[in-house]
Amino acid sequence: MMTDPVITTLNEALAQAAAEVEQALDDLLPMPEGPESRLVDAMRYAVLGGGKRMRAFMVMETASLFGVDRRCSARTAAAVEMLHAYSLVHDDLPAMDDDDLRRGKPSTHKAFDEATAILAGDALQTRAFEVLAEPDTHSNAEARCELIRAFAHASGAAGMVGGQMIDIVSEGRELTAEQIGRLQALKTGRLIQFSAEAGAILGRANPMQRHLLLSYGRDVGAAFQIADDILDVEGTAEDVGKATGKDAAAGKATLVAVLGLERARAQADALSAQAAHHLDSFGEKAQHLRSLAALVVARKS
Amino acid sequence: MMTDPVITTLNEALAQAAAEVEQALDDLLPMPEGPESRLVDAMRYAVLGGGKRMRAFMVMETASLFGVDRRCSARTAAAVEMLHAYSLVHDDLPAMDDDDLRRGKPSTHKAFDEATAILAGDALQTRAFEVLAEPDTHSNAEARCELIRAFAHASGAAGMVGGQMIDIVSEGRELTAEQIGRLQALKTGRLIQFSAEAGAILGRANPMQRHLLLSYGRDVGAAFQIADDILDVEGTAEDVGKATGKDAAAGKATLVAVLGLERARAQADALSAQAAHHLDSFGEKAQHLRSLAALVVARKS
């Protein structure tokens, strides 16, 4: 239970950012007329009204360090959430992880059908890039292109999708802790890392500031993933909102399996502390981001 | 058989552009080390060594009207081909059109597996946007962002993917000629239209020139789709390189089914002539593009 006053403040800030990104998503995905409305319906189903919006929060908080207009950072955050949602929609497909449940409700292919889910994921990815390219996201086109490049690098073959491929190829194989770390860095880490870097790009930060936020994102992402694996072992489906114990059942390699619970937890805590440390030079303004680093390893869902 | 000297010249120009875009694709999709190489392998399988490269040719020819560096237009053409290839990979999946054959060889999900095909399609889309955002594609970031916006609009929910959704929703239903025209304009027309518009964006053309090329692309795209439907009725699988007669078997509405062969052919010819007419003000430089408009309705595969 989060009764610590710092965490309460963080939860308020998380709720505030979630509300802003929810509004941005709603605005950015208007329902069309005609039979293609089914597609947008599925896109909205997949991305609206769910999730902790941690990635969105990181975009908005890192952007706020540089005084970026919150409407601009909310658009960028919405693009990240669209990208994340598309990856979940495709991940849940029968040919992939075959998950019927996502955030406590039917996965997109169960609520609609497989073809619609494939297309909705595809179009969410497209829309994410489109939003970043629009002038409302940043007045400077160089910044928008830089945002798109970093976003694509984090989410494509050299990032998230590459990590999903490694995950599939590795199923049933024994991996070393290093190999698992790399898999997770690509599969979930890169997009979380981008979420922290995005604020620096939007804020035209200097290279050192950008590097520090990128490092923060990298460590928070790694800590988050270990915490996720711990939850998969310890949590109940009710708490987590999706099936648990699946990693072990699927023979998926996790750091918990290789290191054991205690050492995995210690590593997550060390990464969380290290993440906060990267923020030292940002002072008081970065307090929410520090609290977030603590929250990701303390969360129960 | 194409023995007309104009068409022979066109075929040479098509082959030249295809070779350039093939090289660009090869350069833009280097094989990584590690288990994710399977993903890039599938991406390369899907996009390299196949197809007429009509979209690529349109990008390169419209760009050449404005003297754009061919390395820049080849990168843009490669991005369009990646996007097109991703759409084919996902379209061929069992949950979609369930096609085992593509360009005379096994579809990506048959050559690899379904999960790999889903991911390869996803990562091809990502890479396409990444390539457009890179400075090598255009020195001006405003032009790159404009390219990305037009590309996303053509390929997302308001374009290609929206058209695929309409196609699925409409299966087995009777559509009017107007509804079929709209379906096809979205599903295949928008990306072909973008391919013609791309040269104008790369060349920083004036709004009238851009409008003329966009109109050319729209009409070529519409003519191409009708010719495709005619081939599906008349062609053999050997000529076309994929299963034929599938539209009728799947109960898919085509203009051929609604208008009959003769009227459909007349409409394709009229669109082809109209497409060429949009190029009047570009003079001799646009000859290949005019020949292409003639070729799309004369092709046998």
Instruction: Give CA–CA dist B29/A116, Å, rounded.
Output: 29
Is it the case that residue B64 has pLDDT exceeding 70? Answer: yes
> How many residues would you count in chain B?
301
What's residue A253's pLDDT? 73
**Which residues are paired to B250 by β-bridges?**
none
CB A100 within 8 A of CB A110: yes
What's residue B51's pLDDT? 82
ipTM above 0.90, yes or no: yes
Chain B residues whose CB is inside 8 A of the A40 CB are: 157
Task: Using the Cα atoms of residue A155, residue A225, residue A77 and residue A284 in order, give the sign of their dihedral.
Answer: negative
Confidence of residue B273 (pLDDT cuts 50, 70, 90): very high
Mean pLDDT of chain B: 92
Confidence of residue A1 (pLDDT cuts 50, 70, 90): very low
**Would the CB atoms of B130 and A141 count as touching at under 8 Å?**
no
**Would the CB atoms of B144 and A149 count as touching at under 8 Å?**
no
Is it the case that residue B20 has pLDDT exceeding 90? Answer: yes
What's residue A258's pLDDT? 87
What's residue A122's pLDDT? 98
**Mean pLDDT, to the nearest integer, of A205-212?**
98
Burial class (CB in 10 A: 0-12, 13-18, 19+), B170: middle
Of A255 and A278, the structure prediction assigns the larger pLDDT to A278
**Would the CB atoms of A130 and B169 count as touching at under 8 Å?**
no
**Mean pLDDT, to the nearest integer, of B120-138?**
98
Confidence of residue A157 (pLDDT cuts 50, 70, 90): very high
Q: How many CB pairs lie under 8 A apart between chains A and B?
A: 163
DSSP state of A138: -
Q: What is the pLDDT of residues B239-251, one digit of tens each?
A: 555 555 666 666 6
**CA angle, residues B107, B112, B115, in degrees to nearest 5:** 100
DSSP string, A68-124: --HHHHHHHHHHHHHHHHHHHHHHTSTTTT--SEETTEE-HHHHS-HHHHHHHHHHH
**Would the CB atoms of A123 and B36 count as touching at under 8 Å?**
no
DSSP state of B137: G
Burial class (CB in 10 A: 0-12, 13-18, 19+), A247: middle
What's residue B2's pLDDT? 47
Of A135, A148, A157, the CB nearest to B40: A157
Is it the case that residue B227 has pLDDT exceeding 90? Answer: yes
Beta-strand runs (E) in chain B: 101-102, 105-106
**Mean pLDDT, to the nearest integer, of A47-56?**
91
**Mean pLDDT, to the nearest integer, of B207-228?**
96
Q: Which amino acid is at A151?
A: F
Instruction: Give CA–CA dist B235/B229, Å, rounded.
Output: 10
Confidence of residue B301 (pLDDT cuts 50, 70, 90): low
**CA angle, residues B10, B12, B15, in degrees to nearest 5:** 110
**Mean pLDDT, to the nearest integer, of A11-40?**
95
Of B250 and A193, the structure prediction assigns the larger pLDDT to A193
What's residue A7's pLDDT? 63
Is it the case that residue B226 has pLDDT exceeding 70? Answer: yes
**Mean pLDDT, to the nearest integer, of B113-134?**
98
Confidence of residue A248 (pLDDT cuts 50, 70, 90): low
How far apart are the CA of A247 and the nearest CA of chain B, in angstroms? 17
Beta-strand runs (E) in A198-296: none
Instruction: Give CA–CA dist A234/A213, Å, rounded.
Output: 31
Number of neighbouring beta carbons within 10 Å of residue A214? 19
HSE-CB at A90 with a 13 A cutoff on CA atoms is: 29
Q: Report the domain count for chain A.
A: 1
What's residue A239's pLDDT? 56
How far apart are the CA of B294 and the nearest CA of chain A, in angstroms? 32
**Would the CB atoms of A32 and B130 count as touching at under 8 Å?**
no
Of A43, A148, A161, the CB nearest to B119: A161
pTM for the model stands at 0.94
**Would the CB atoms of A152 and B164 count as touching at under 8 Å?**
no
**Would the CB atoms of A32 and B157 count as touching at under 8 Å?**
yes
CB A161 within 8 A of CB A184: no
**Mean pLDDT, to the nearest integer, of A261-284?**
96
From the list B79, B223, B247, B71, the residue with the least C-alpha distance to B155 is B79
Q: What is the pLDDT of residues A67-87, one digit of tens each?
A: 999 999 999 999 999 999 999
Confidence of residue B40 (pLDDT cuts 50, 70, 90): very high
**Would the CB atoms of A115 and B168 count as touching at under 8 Å?**
yes
- A101: phi then psi, degrees, rounded to nearest 5: -125, 135
Chain B residues whose CB is inside 8 A of the A152 CB are: 126-127, 129-130, 133
Here the CATH number for the domain that contains residue B62 is 1.10.600.10
From the list B245, B210, B206, B207, the residue with the least C-alpha distance to B229 is B245
What's residue A22's pLDDT? 97
Of A181 and B237, the structure prediction assigns the larger pLDDT to A181
- B241: phi then psi, degrees, rounded to nearest 5: 80, 10
Nearest CA in chain B to A170: B35
What's residue B1's pLDDT? 47
HSE-CB at A16 with a 13 A cutoff on CA atoms is: 12
The range of the structural domain enclosing residue B152 comes to 5-298
Is it the case that residue B21 has pLDDT exceeding 60? Answer: yes
DSSP string, B166-199: HHHHHTTS---HHHHHHHHIIIIIHHHHHHHHHH
How far apart are the CA of B165 and the nearest CA of chain A, in angstroms? 6
Of A116 and B5, the structure prediction assigns the larger pLDDT to A116
- The full 3-state SS of A34-67, as one line of letters, equals CCCHHHHHHHHHHHCCCCCCHHHHHHHHHHHCCC
What's residue A241's pLDDT? 56
pLDDT above 90: percentage of residues in chain A: 80
Chain B residues whose CB is inside 8 A of the A32 CB are: 157-158, 162
**Would the CB atoms of B156 and A93 count as touching at under 8 Å?**
no
What's residue A2's pLDDT? 47
